Amino acid sequence: MSGESRHVWRIVFRNFINSLRPRQITGNSMGKDYLGNAYFEIPADPQRGKRKPTRWYDPPKGQDFQDPIPAEWESWLRYRRSEPPTEEEIAKNVAIAELKKINASKIEEKRLAEGGSLPTPVERGAQSFPTYPEYHTGHPEIHPKNKGD
């Protein structure tokens, strides 16, 4: 019985020592985005009990996960899509986003040229909500009929 317990403690000690060593995780490189993030995947292995692939990304040096990642790659990381995005798909979506920015600036210039002003900020608070006489709360300071009293 004592021989078995020594063997268990040896396994525990070996696992503890191995946990302190840096692991070299190697995954299949799946691509890069225009921000410089590199994406990786370790495929699923159902025979070992791993039903889903493991996916992650590495930001470029010095970025430390500060920039948001593109929507196409985020959907791949979160398993919403099975295949990673293609270069053509990413280029098309970037072009559409740039076109939307250009169109928005043109619309804003046209609105200002027609005599429009800059949008005024909406004031928030209890006074910004509409008051209706049929929904009288009993408080004279809130009811609109009693404001002049």
In sequence order, the 6+-apart residues with CB closer than 8 A to the CB of 58 are 37, 38, 40
3-class DSSP assignment, residue 38: strand
Nearest to 59 by CA among 42, 79, 38, 83: 38
Evaluate if pTM is beyond 0.75: no
Which candidate, 85, 65, 66, 67, places its Cα nearest to that of 75?
A: 85
pLDDT tens digits, the chain, 149 residues: what are they? 455 556 888 888 888 888 887 766 778 899 988 888 999 999 888 888 888 898 999 888 877 777 788 889 999 999 999 999 998 998 999 999 999 999 999 998 988 888 877 666 666 666 666 777 777 666 666 555 555 54
